Amino acid sequence: MNEDISPNYKPFTPETIVDYIRQRPEMGDVFRPTEPLVAEEIGDGNLNLVFRIWAEADKERTVIVKQALPYLRLVGGDWPLPVDRARIEAEALKVEYKLVPQHTPRVYFYDPDMYLFAMQNLNRHIIMRKGLIEGIKYPRFAEHIGLFLARTLGGTSDLALDFKTKKLEVKRFINPDLCKITEDLIFTEPYRYTERNGFHKELEPQVLALQADEKLHVEVAKMKEKFMTQAQALVHGDLHTGSIMINQTETFVIDPEFAYYGPMGFDIGAVIGNLFLNYAAHEVRTPDPAKRADFRKYLTDTVIDLWHVFVREFQPFWDQADPINMPKGYQDDYMLRVLQDSAGLGACKMMRRVIGLAGVADIRGIQDVHERAIAGSLALHIGRSLLLEREQIHTIEDLVEIATACKPTYPWGKTTLS
Amino acid sequence: MNEDISPNYKPFTPETIVDYIRQRPEMGDVFRPTEPLVAEEIGDGNLNLVFRIWAEADKERTVIVKQALPYLRLVGGDWPLPVDRARIEAEALKVEYKLVPQHTPRVYFYDPDMYLFAMQNLNRHIIMRKGLIEGIKYPRFAEHIGLFLARTLGGTSDLALDFKTKKLEVKRFINPDLCKITEDLIFTEPYRYTERNGFHKELEPQVLALQADEKLHVEVAKMKEKFMTQAQALVHGDLHTGSIMINQTETFVIDPEFAYYGPMGFDIGAVIGNLFLNYAAHEVRTPDPAKRADFRKYLTDTVIDLWHVFVREFQPFWDQADPINMPKGYQDDYMLRVLQDSAGLGACKMMRRVIGLAGVADIRGIQDVHERAIAGSLALHIGRSLLLEREQIHTIEDLVEIATACKPTYPWGKTTLS
């Protein structure tokens, strides 16, 4: 799979990356040619090396360098991954930066021999998932992410690009291996027995019921087909709350290495699905009913608001559309399909985070197994309901109503292990 | 658009092509190195040069050479076209030959400098459209084309190809300029005023009504979006009855220069739509009611049979599908969507052949303007009904029933010009 790897490629270390970065002319705005730099490796360790580099004299002059490893570290050399994904990620960031610079880290350069790129260090932000787990509200997030989604999805679709650019962009972002990870981990493995699934014993009855539910399999298969065939827009492809760097005033979306031309609902659904995973986690993470209700209201208001912002910010694409080609009735139908796709695709992302290989800290980070099972059970119910009832969704409020009507069914009465 | 054209490229003439072809080692099976060859140019003259070449000593030893011209001859140099389409066509023929050699001309070689390829001369076959216009039945056609469609569409989809091959095939067949022709001529121009539309004055009231029908525009827009975004299978892209070479025992599909990854229904619909264009033409071409009914029964039986053959020959792809990934309920839904897509996309192909730039001889070849308007009126009604009622179609018999219930509404009573 990596037969075409550059002969010059070598993984860097904190020692070697400093010399390398000092020599790059593109870094002249940040570092002086001879000044001492410091680097540390801060990657979460499964796909890439990530270096934080700063000037010894001034910690605020800093960049991130991300270098692709030719394998998925999580499972060792067994799962080789193309280093080309560094190109995809750097190019996707550049596209996004052009469309929404206020929510995208700046890329300084991409090195096609080393499969790495340097980008803005978001050193005043934290990973959103961590904040949400702690119950921190981000009042500007809905506005920011709605704009990001509208600009990046609308702006890379046939609504904004001419026929040729769009098709050449589809070609440039063909991303087989990373799409395959999604196909397997999101749409395939959660719905069958595999050793890689990571759900906990306590959830087994509910997971086995889902795995035996042919009606559910039919809908998952439709979502998988959509993921595999609908070249609607350049999607980020992994837009969960762990790909968002945030604080009270700013929001940045990082890590688009899974970017490819896919359905818009895959990104919107990822955001909504991850907000509902957090919603489910607070079932046990926030025992105080009033506090819980308050934070959940923040989460569901955020879901509602981000959709309304998305629709508002998407409107310019419709305003410039030819009304004969795309009459109002078509525009409404298009937006409705994006909403229903978001529900269905986001639902699949929720369920896989409970059942499959890669969980989310919101739920898997809950120490007590019974509490973890309660939150997992609720997340699975929300996912299942959003997927099966997505065609009844006509407004974002419908979507929230379906999700918030769900309750955990763990413990299982007499069958429970507790 | 043709900035990358090879510096060695030159259009051949019947004189120069003979020397060229004699020197090609791949032709050793057909021609001897020094024997006299004869060539004539037989292109219909809008996109390509087409040479028929044969051994003077034996007319049966013969090939066709097809060379791309860098512009659309129909409108002169105003519409430049990428010569890369010769590569697309040659490569698509090779894919189809591998899957259904009995219905695909053999390609001997492709020359990337001259943008030409040599292929089997189907010298015992005629263009199907001509035969159908004359009222000739082809009893084996449904069986042949059903097989061709199932093998080429199923065999290039995610159902048959591994994740990587499929995505690299999508990339290899990105075909922006020829897709753009379809987007304009089939999905855009027929539904508005343009100078290029080619309908006759007599049809104007019905055409204007269609162009004012917003409900129709909505459905056309959905079909256009599907054409532009659904990378389901390698489609031929122009599978009308003029792309089919046929006789009583054999059927060959030629001319896949519009090939790209699109919706399966685009090819199936092209065949069905063109059979119904011919059906509409016989409203006036075959005045004898018994003869007309007989030939139309052949046409509608062919539509029904080709779908059933398609479904039967598609079944092996389902048989090898993982039943958890793709349960029966999903398979049924998939086939139903392909059927409804075929109705909707085929309908658009019908309407454009009456309204738009490029007509079909079945209808535009009718000498008498009033008779031509009757046939055109019927074709438009069939197209409109199939598009608007496609979601009520659950069987191929439903589709045929909708089409055969349509009647021409020309002459328009008092508003007629006759």
CB distance A244 to A148 below 8 Å: no
Mean pLDDT, residues A306-319 taken together = 98
Do residues A216 and A349 both lie within one domain? yes
Q: What share of residues in chain A are helix, strand, coil (percent, to 5)?
A: 55, 10, 30
Q: How far is B222 from chain A (nearest CA, A)?
A: 7
Residue A417 lies in a domain: no
* Together in a domain, B199 and B344: yes
Q: Does the beta-carbon distance from B167 to A183 stay under 8 Å?
A: no
* pLDDT < 70 stretches in chain B: 1-3, 45-46, 72-79, 413-418
Distance, in angstroms, between B84 CA and closest chain A CA? 14
Residues B318 and B377 in one domain: yes
DSSP B205-219: HHHHHHHT-HHHHHH
Residue A295 lies in a domain: yes
| Same domain, yes or no: B61 and B36 | yes
**What DSSP letter does each residue of B256-283 carry, written as one string?**
-TT-EEE-HHHHHHHHHHHHHHHHHHHH
- Condensed to tens digits (0 to 9), the pLDDT of residues A327-340 reads 999 999 999 999 99
Q: How many domains are there within chain A?
A: 2
- Which residues does chain A have within 8 Å of residue B224's beta carbon, measured at their own beta carbons? 325
Q: Of the candidates A105, A120, A135, which is a domain's last residue?
A: A120
Q: Which of A76, A265, A52 is nearest to B229 (CA)?
A: A265
pLDDT tens digit string along A19-74?
999 989 999 889 988 899 999 999 876 778 999 999 999 999 999 999 998 876 55
Range of the domain at A73: 14-120
pLDDT of A245 strictly over 70: yes
Q: What residues in B contact A231, CB-CB < 8 Å?
A: 229-231
Q: What is the ipTM of this complex?
A: 0.94
Q: Looking at residue B4, what is its pLDDT?
A: 72
d(CA A184, CA A189) in angstroms, rounded, equals 6
B356 belongs to a structural domain: yes
Q: How many CA within 13 A on the CB side of residue A184?
A: 14
**Is residue B418, in this structure, part of any structural domain at all?**
no
CATH label of the domain that carries residue A173: 3.90.1200.10
What distance in Å separates residue A164's CA from the closest CA in chain B?
5
Which of A163, A181, A258 to substitute to test the interface with B, most B CBs within 10 Å?
Answer: A163
A326 domain residue, yes or no: yes
Is residue B411 domain-resident? no
Residues B194 and B286 in one domain: yes
Query: Are A180 and B170 a contacting pair at CB < 8 A?
Result: no
Is B177–A183 a contact, with Cβ atoms under 8 angstroms apart? no
Judged by CB atoms closer than 8 Å, whether chains meet at A330 and B177 is answered as no
| Cβ contact B330–A177 (<8 Å) | no
pLDDT class of A6 with cuts at 50, 70, 90: confident
* B302 within domain boundaries: yes
Q: Are residues B70 and B152 in the same domain?
A: no
Q: Which of B70, B88, B120 is the last residue before a domain boundary?
A: B120
**Quick check: A176 and B168 CB within 8 A?**
yes
| Pick from B168, B179, B191: CB nearest A167 | B179
In a domain, B410, yes or no: no
Note whether A250 and A369 are same-domain residues.
yes
* B384 shares a domain with B318: yes
Q: How confident is the model at residue A269 (pLDDT cuts 50, 70, 90)?
A: very high
Residues of B with Cβ-Cβ distance to A222 under 8 angstroms = 330, 333
Based on the domain organization, do A141 and A264 belong to the same domain? yes
Amino acid at A160: A
Distance of CA B5 to the CA centre of its chain: 27
Summarize pLDDT for A104-118 with one digit per residue, the tens: 999 999 999 999 999
Domain boundary among B73, B103, B120: B120
Residue B71's CATH number:
3.30.200.20
* CB within 8 Å: B327 and A192: no
Close Cβ partners of A332 (under 8 Å, ≥ 6 residues apart): none
B176, B324, B333 ranked by CB distance to A167: nearest: B176
Judge whether B267 and B241 are in contact, CB under 8 Å: no
Task: State how far the Cα of B332 lies from the Cα of B315, in Å rounded to an integer.
Answer: 11
For residue A72, the model assigns a pLDDT of 66
Name the nearest CA neighbour of B342 among B227, B213, B193.
B227
**Total CB pairs under 8 A between chain A and B:** 99
Query: B113: distance to nearest CA of chain A, Å?
Result: 22
From A189, which residue of chain B is nearest by alpha-carbon distance?
Answer: B325
Give the integer Cα–Cα distance in Å for A151 and A235. 11
How is residue A228 written in tokens? 């595999």
